[in-house]
Structure 1
Amino acid sequence: MSDLFPPFAPDAQEARRRRFKPVPLRMLVPNLITLVALCLGLTAVRLAFEGRLEPAVIAIVVAAALDGIDGRVARLLKGTSRFGAELDSLADFVNFGVTPALVLHWFVLQNLKSIGWIVALLFAISAALRLARFNVMIDDPNRPEWTKNFFVGMAAPAGAITSLLPIYLHFLGVPTSEPALAPLSLIYVFGIGFLMVSTVPTFSGKNLGRRIPRQWVLPIFVATVAFFGLLVSFPFEILTLGTVLFLGSIPFSIARHRRFERADEERAAESQPREPATVPEPGEAP
């Protein structure tokens, strides 16, 4: 038996097994935030199917807040990566496409049977198409700098938050879940899905907060605390008001976007060389 496993000395010339480089912690933190948001989105589906609609809505809202944080944290820590960008897109599709569609179908769209399910499918697919278009456009090097202030179509988190307006109104006493009002909710959800895949410009707010005038620091602190207190005390009133204000801001974003486009067209026209005026030959009519 001793001859079956004879001792041997390792070969010093044998190539060592390649080891992966350790990943810095700053690369993991943004992805962990994204995963927490994804867990909240999936949990919202379970809570809704259990009839716990209020915590389901809160889970979606918190997931949207985390979605706005993870990118900023990644840029702050210099932890952006292609893996994180892909993970964020997949999480956004689940949190702001699939989850709102299922919650709204359970809440009101199921009253319209197959038509309600089709609208839920259209909403989820609209979120997927909107995210795919965003990933393609973000790599375009020819985009003007001012376009960073706008989204092309409604962003997926904003679409999810605004699509839940029938649920907000339900908690405020409006019977939006009744079969008689179900068609109105269906039209509204379909409209939000259309805005996500449309080319209607909406304010992005990405450049907000980079440079704050010193005199605005304390008022911003006070306003933030007041907003948080109101949101905790009157969540559905604040969400309803925020949804209405956001939808009301779309015409202003369209007008501002058109002003930037006209300015670019005027600069392009001025930069084009003018053709020299032709001088008529002697004897020719001017």
Structure 2
Amino acid sequence: MDTPFPPYEPNGPNDTARGPRLREIPLRMIIPNMITVLAICAGLTGIRLAFENRYELAVGMVLLAAFLDGIDGRVARLLKATSKFGGQMDSLADIVNFGVAPALVLYVFVLDQARSIGWIAALIYAIAAGLRLARFNVMAEREAKASWQSEYFVGVPAPAGAMLVLLPVYLGFLGIPPSNFFALLSSGYTVVIGFLLVSRLPVWSGKSEGSRIRRDLVLPAILFVVFYVATLMSFTWETMVLTVLAYLATLPFGARAWQKKYGQWTAPPTDSDDDELADTRE
């Protein structure tokens, strides 16, 4: 029976690599896309909650969107359900969840105190997130990639940028009033995070295939994760502030490690540099 909806073609209408087109699509092909749609819903709901002055729930929704974005690609690879359609959906979700939503939540909470300056800062961050994601998509299409490409991001990844840019909101939850001076400082901080998104700063991705952990450190690592989750649940905003500060503190060390390993950080930007410092899925 025909329906008014177009057929779902995960890899486009001209994809013949998998043989004749089937009349039915396996459910596993749809699950990652459903997770991506839920992430978009979480990001948009965060915007609504911010305009309703329910800021803690708004930030929670943005962070939930970041979590869902982090697992949709892994679920797709686990289920062997990766597709061009899913990749495009993921890109659209990223610009909403990590560009538009954090910028609007931050603006409604504190940047509006700085008037036009705050709005300009929010615009710069949102546009920077879009540029960063566009560059990521272009670099992901390159065929010639080094085997160590997954060790570093080019610039701060968009999900981490969303977590970082919300630092003024975390501080506000801890009692800092959204005064004009604080709004101006937050505007400057927002612009800095936007710059980190589009910069060529090598950021360790933590996805190196050669990463190993010593056997005697496995249990302490598990205990540390448990401790972090427990503090996140009990002292949410204090833990988020410390997480942001710790992440920012690691950026120079990541750049130094890249410089020491490849000896090219001070070299002028070239096309070959872009090939070597390749992106991985965020």
Which bracket does the TM-score occupy, shorter chain normalised? 0.7 to 0.9
Quote the offset at 1:21 in angstroms: 2.9
Query: Quick one: distance in 2 between partners of 1:230 and 1:208?
Result: 30
Quote the offset at 1:40 in angstroms: 0.7
Asked whether the equivalents of residues 146 and 260 of structure 1 are also in contact (C-alpha less than 8 Å), the reply is: no
RMSD: 2.1
Task: Specify the alignment match of 2:157 in structure 1.
Answer: 155
Query: Quick one: distance in 2 between partners of 1:228 and 1:209?
Result: 26
SS in 1 for 2:153: strand
Pair 1:21-2:27 in alignment: no
Q: Which runs of 5+ in 1 are unaligned?
A: 1-17, 264-286
Task: Specify the alignment match of 1:60 in structure 2.
Answer: 62
Query: Quick one: distance in 2 between partners of 1:65 and 1:49?
Result: 22
Task: Specify the alignment match of 1:202 in structure 2.
Answer: 203
Give the TM-score normalised by structure 1. 0.80
Alignment of 1:1-286 (within 5 A): 21-175=23-177, 177-207=178-208, 214-262=215-263
Query: Quick one: distance in 1 between partners of 2:124 and 2:207?
Result: 28
In the alignment, residue 96 of structure 2 is paired with which amino acid? Answer: V
Quote the offset at 1:173 in angstroms: 1.8
Structure of larger gyration radius? 1
Quote the offset at 1:260 in angstroms: 2.8
Residues 217/27 of structure 1: CA separation in 2 closer, same or farther (3 Å cut)? farther
In the alignment, residue 206 of structure 2 is paired with which amino acid? Answer: G
Runs of 4+ in 1 over 3 A off after TM superposition: 207-221
SS in 1 for 2:148: helix
Task: Specify the alignment match of 1:272 in structure 2.
Answer: none
Relative contact order, CA 8 A, sep 6+: which one is greater? 2
SS in 2 for 1:145: coil
Residues 208/188 of structure 1: CA separation in 2 closer, same or farther (3 Å cut)? farther
Bigger drift between 191-200 and 31-40 goes to 31-40
In the alignment, residue 251 of structure 1 is paired with which amino acid? Answer: P
Aligned length: 246
Asked whether the equivalents of residues 44 and 55 of structure 1 are also in contact (C-alpha less than 8 Å), the reply is: yes
Asked whether the equivalents of residues 151 and 203 of structure 1 are also in contact (C-alpha less than 8 Å), the reply is: yes
Quote the offset at 1:213 in angstroms: 5.2
